[in-house]
């Protein structure tokens, strides 16, 4: 069955419709935050008969222990292969819940209701499920699509600004992979209104970029790697931050990574007009600030990039935009080029 992605702020009604077509028992999965803040606002009578499973919030709970506790709860509440699991939360909940459902009795159906911007534009759509394992992010999981995803802006009013900006960085990435027009329209919109109905069409446009790409390469062998734009450098920034106990949100790292990798695209592929790059960098600096690095960090950063999980043969690989709406995956980048791009990033960010 093909996945249905619904864009609506009438979340409760959309769920009612889905549950009407479903004969088995119903379960929800939330973390303790979404259980408290979101579940009471669902306005979905059909959920009254559901069994609610809750796990503690936080990336550290995207773990085998919590996955096993979800299986246990399903078992103990008599879930069978005709049951349905509704995952309500951010990427941690939809990733872990998707994996739990896909492996319970060899797979029961699940629905994703992302409640964060990052979850809505990234984690909840595209069929990647996972937990962290052995200190590695998303190392255990599988490809399995939710039967339905309900994308809304309805619960974004509870999100801190940092969460909004984190999700917005993935929207910038999608817009870069869409068109020049879409990119500048996005930068121009009032993103303080992101929790209102007016933002739904923006969200829809963004998610559709991901859907188009994933449809052509669901198992991440080829074109799906376009979605790694900004992420080779972004992940290295995240790793450097963790190793020095600085705390940066994933999307912030992606925003800075997009600046560095767009510089690389200009250097290596002669792509991307200088003015456009300037505007991207200015937007990022004004909204995200800068991730402070010095020349002394370069060796460590290069090392992280060489060990990125998408890398083969220990060389640095980036997905570079050859133009708005088009990327080259698997571009091999020399240490010299990467260092030059990091220099320009520091100039652009005023570091």
Q: Which residues bind a copy of itself (CB under 8 A)?
A: 64, 68, 71-72, 75-76, 80-82, 99, 102-107, 128, 130, 133-134, 136, 138-143, 219-220, 309, 312
- For residue 121, the 8-state DSSP code is I
Give the nearer residue to a copy of itself in terms of CB position, either 82 or 326: 82
Nearer to a copy of itself, 77 or 189 (CB): 77
Q: Which is nearer to a copy of itself, 144 or 208 (CB)?
A: 144
Specify the residue, 20 or 309, whose C-beta has the smaller distance to a copy of itself. 309
Closest to a copy of itself by CB, 20 or 312: 312
Continuous segment of H or E residues that includes residue 317: strand 316-323
Least distance between a copy of itself and beta carbon 331 (Å): 19
Write phi, then psi, for 109 (nearest 5 degrees).
-70, 150
Q: How far is the CB of 325 from a copy of itself (least distance, A)?
A: 27
| Closer residue to a copy of itself in complex, CB, 75/278 | 75
Of the pair 66, 164, the CB lying nearest a copy of itself is at 66
Least separation in angstroms between CB 111 and a copy of itself: 19
- Residues with Cβ < 8 Å from 268, sequence gap 6 or more? 320, 331, 333, 337
CB 160 to a copy of itself: min, Å: 30
Residues 319, 299: Cα–Cα separation, whole Å: 21
Secondary element (H or E) of residue 165? helix 161-176
- Determine the Cα–Cα distance for residues 252 and 166; give it in Å rounded to an integer: 6
- DSSP secondary structure letter of residue 219: T
Q: Rounded to the nearest whole angstrom, what is the least distance from the CB of residue 222 to a copy of itself in the complex?
A: 13
Residue 215, CA distances (Å) to 105, 158, 189, 351 in order: 27, 32, 28, 40
Element (H, E) at 68: helix 64-76
The SS3 of residue 183 is: helix
**Residue 102 or 239 with smaller CB distance to a copy of itself:** 102
Per-residue buried b or exposed e for 325-348, using 16+ beta carbons within 10 Å of the residue's own CB: bebbbebebeeebbeebbebbbeb
Nearest one of 317, 311, 314 to 338, comparing CA atoms: 317
Least CB distance from residue 143 to a copy of itself, whole Å?
A: 6
Minimum CB distance to a copy of itself, residue 346 (Å): 32
Residue 109 is classified by DSSP as: E
How far apart are the C-alpha atoms of 277 and 53, rounded to whole Å? 46
Alpha helices in 229-334 (DSSP H): 231-243, 250-269, 274-288, 298-306
Nearer Cβ to a copy of itself (97/141): 141
**What span, in angstroms and rounded, lies between the C-alpha atoms of 318 and 311?**
9
Burial class (CB in 10 A: 0-12, 13-18, 19+), 243: exposed
Q: Could you tell me the smallest distance in angstroms from the CB atom of residue 36 to a copy of itself?
A: 28
**Smallest distance, a copy of itself to C-beta of residue 235, A:** 15
């Amino acid at each position: 069955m093909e996945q249905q992605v619904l864009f609506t702020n009438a979340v409760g009604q959309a769920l009612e419709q889905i549950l009407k077509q479903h004969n088995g028992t119903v379960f929800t999965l939330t973390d303790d935050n979404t259980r408290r803040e979101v579940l009471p606002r669902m306005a979905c009578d059909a959920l009254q008969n559901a069994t609610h499973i809750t796990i503690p919030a936080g990336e550290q709970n995207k773990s085998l222990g919590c996955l096993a506790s979800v299986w246990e709860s399903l078992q103990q509440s008599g879930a069978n292969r005709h049951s349905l699991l509704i995952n309500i939360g951010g990427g941690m909940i939809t990733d872990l819940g998707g994996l739990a459902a896909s492996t319970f009795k060899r797979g029961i159906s699940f629905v994703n209701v992302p409640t964060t911007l990052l979850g809505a534009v990234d984690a909840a759509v595209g069929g990647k499920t996972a937990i962290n394992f052995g200190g590695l992010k998303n190392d255990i999981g599988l490809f399995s699509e939710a039967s339905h995803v309900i994308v809304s802006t309805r619960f974004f009013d509870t999100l801190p600004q940092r969460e909004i900006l984190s999700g917005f960085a993935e929207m910038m990435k999608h817009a870069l992979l869409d068109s020049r027009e879409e990119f500048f329209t996005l930068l121009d919109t009032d993103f303080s209104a992101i929790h209102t109905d007016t933002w739904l069409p923006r969200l829809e446009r963004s998610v559709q970029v991901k859907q188009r790409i994933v449809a052509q390469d669901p198992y991440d062998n080829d074109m799906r790697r376009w979605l790694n734009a900004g992420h080779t450098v972004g992940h290295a920034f995240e790793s450097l931050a963790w190793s020095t106990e600085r705390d940066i949100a994933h999307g912030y790292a992606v925003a800075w990574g997009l600046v560095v990798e767009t510089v690389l695209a200009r250097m290596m592929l002669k792509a991307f007009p200088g003015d456009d790059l300037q505007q991207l960098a200015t937007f990022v600096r004004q909204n995200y600030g800068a991730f402070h690095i010095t020349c002394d960090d370069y060796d460590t950063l290069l090392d992280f990039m060489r060990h990125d999980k998408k890398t083969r043969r220990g060389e640095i690989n980036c997905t570079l935009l050859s133009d708005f709406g088009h990327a080259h995956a698997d571009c091999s980048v020399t240490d010299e080029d990467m260092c030059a791009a990091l220099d320009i990033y520091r100039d652009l960010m005023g570091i």
